[in-house]
């Protein structure tokens, strides 16, 4: 019940101001957000790498309102890639981007987002890594998939995300699996209406399994984005049945969630990538993490009350 309420609040400016100003917020945010600047996140990449983990880096931000902000988003990623290059960390870290932060919802947003993301994808390729396009709410996805297809003409390693809760996703998975894409499958983190998305959690899990099977049996590179132990073990079994070697798929989890399990899977020989978000515009990302697990909200409220 709480999840949808928190997701609605994640789009409210009033709530954004309240939550950001609350005492104790910073401490709870730090569990999920790896810092505010490139300097904060680089040591974390090294630390995760030393634990045998790979990383995908997300500069937090979305729902921007000006073209200048979209350029700033592009530049923040270019700065990050420059630092990874200097430090020789390119092989361990890929990038995740939200096209809304690159201007997708502004006027001529599709073209603007493509123009902004292209140099980021090119810079990533130059240091031997890749970019994955995150999936946002369902209204943005046709544009995201078209940008993905366009980028893949020059940078075939570019990845994208599909969301098990959407009715459309099995068809998207079939298309992407046939064309050899890198595809991250997740349950889905946005508040979506019943016309486009499954609302019942067990049914979302069943769809997730069907989609994993399509990806594992296909020609692409599946990236299993989940903390759900049942789905992870089903993913392992589907990979085994499809005859995939350990480097022909990977698991992904979010920074700050089930860290011991991340290390355990890596120690077993799996490629395990940690989605590591950083930056100052953390509100939307943080609220989705609260919505996924009501206990996080209780912890958050308690930390405010005890300040």
Residues with a known catalytic role: 134, 184
If the CB atoms of residues 126 and 201 are measured against ligand FAD, the closer one turns out to be: 201
| Cβ proximity of 273 and 223 under 8 Å | yes
Burial class (CB in 10 A: 0-12, 13-18, 19+), 290: buried
| Cβ proximity of 212 and 237 under 8 Å | no
Residue 257 binding ligand FAD, by CB under 6 A: yes
**Selection from 113, 34, 30 nearest residue 67 by Cα:** 113
| Given 159, 188, 222, 284, the residue binding ligand FAD (CB under 6 A) | 188
**Selection from 57, 58, 37 nearest residue 49 by Cα:** 57
Residue at token pair 């923040």: 76
If the CB atoms of residues 76 and 136 are measured against ligand FAD, the closer one turns out to be: 136
Single out the segment in contact with ligand FAD by CB under 6 A; choices: 11-19, 34-42, 148-156, 226-234: 226-234
Residue 261 binding ligand FAD, by CB under 6 A: no
Phi, psi of 65 (to 5 degrees): -120, -10
Neighbours of 218 (CB within 10 A): 20
- Residue 120 and residue 180: Cα distance in Å, rounded? 22
- Kindly identify the residues of this chain, within the stretch 155-174, that bind ligand FAD according to CB under 6 A: 161, 163
Residue 253 binding ligand FAD, by CB under 6 A: yes
Site string for ligand FAD, 40-69 (x = CB under 6 A): ------------------------------
Residue 252 binding ligand FAD, by CB under 6 A: yes
**Selection from 66, 130, 132, 50 nearest residue 99 by Cα:** 132
Single out the segment in contact with ligand FAD by CB under 6 A; choices: 100-108, 111-119, 139-147, 251-259: 251-259
Determine the straight-line distance between the first and last CA of the chain, rounded to whole angstroms. Answer: 27
Residue 187 binding ligand FAD, by CB under 6 A: yes
Single out the segment in contact with ligand FAD by CB under 6 A; choices: 2-10, 170-178, 248-256, 277-285: 248-256
Q: How far is the CB of 50 from ligand FAD (least distance, A)?
A: 20
Say how many residues touch ligand FAD, by CB under 6 A. Answer: 23
Single out the segment in contact with ligand FAD by CB under 6 A; choices: 68-76, 108-116, 240-248, 252-260: 252-260
Token readout for 123 is: 């810079």
Residue 148 binding ligand FAD, by CB under 6 A: no
If the CB atoms of residues 67 and 204 are measured against ligand FAD, the closer one turns out to be: 204
Residue 135 binding ligand FAD, by CB under 6 A: yes
Residue at token pair 């994993």: 212
Token readout for 224 is: 């299993």
Residue 189 binding ligand FAD, by CB under 6 A: yes
Single out the segment in contact with ligand FAD by CB under 6 A; choices: 39-47, 74-82, 219-227, 264-272: 219-227
**Selection from 145, 148, 66 nearest residue 109 by Cα:** 66
Neighbours of 307 (CB within 10 A): 10
**Selection from 2, 28, 18, 76 nearest residue 307 by Cα:** 28
Q: Which residues bind ligand FAD (CB under 6 A)?
A: 134-135, 161, 163, 186-190, 225-228, 252-254, 257-258, 275, 289, 292-293, 296
């Amino acid at each position: 019940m709480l999840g949808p309420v928190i997701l609605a609040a994640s789009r409210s400016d009033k709530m954004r101001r309240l939550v950001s100003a609350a005492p104790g917020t910073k401490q709870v945010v730090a569990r999920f957000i790896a810092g505010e600047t490139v300097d904060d996140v680089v040591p974390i990449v090294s630390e995760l790498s030393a634990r045998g983990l790979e990383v995908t880096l997300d500069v937090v931000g979305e729902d921007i309102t000006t073209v200048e902000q979209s350029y700033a988003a592009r530049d923040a990623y270019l700065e990050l890639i420059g630092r990874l290059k200097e430090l020789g960390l390119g092989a361990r870290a890929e990038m995740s981007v939200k096209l809304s932060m690159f201007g997708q919802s502004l006027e001529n947003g599709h073209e603007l987002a493509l123009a902004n993301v292209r140099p980021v994808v090119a810079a990533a390729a130059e240091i031997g890594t890749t970019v994955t396009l995150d999936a946002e709410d369902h209204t943005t996805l046709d544009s995201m998939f078209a940008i993905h297809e366009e980028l893949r003409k020059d940078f075939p390693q570019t990845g994208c995300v599909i969301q098990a809760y959407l009715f459309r996703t099995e068809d998207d998975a079939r298309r992407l699996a046939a064309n050899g894409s890198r595809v991250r499958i997740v349950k889905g983190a946005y508040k979506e209406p019943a016309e486009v998305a499954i609302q019942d959690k067990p049914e979302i899990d069943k769809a997730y399994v069907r989609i994993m099977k399509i990806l594992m049996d296909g020609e692409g590179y599946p990236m299993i984005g989940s903390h759900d132990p049942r789905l992870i073990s089903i993913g392992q079994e589907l990979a085994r049945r499809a005859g995939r070697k350990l480097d022909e798929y990977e698991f992904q989890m979010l920074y700050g969630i089930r860290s011991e399990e991340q290390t355990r899977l890596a120690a077993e020989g799996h490629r395990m990538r940690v989605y590591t978000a950083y930056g100052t515009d953390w509100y939307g990302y943080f609220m989705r993490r609260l919505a996924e697990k009501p206990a996080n909200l209780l912890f958050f409220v308690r930390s405010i009350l005890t300040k």
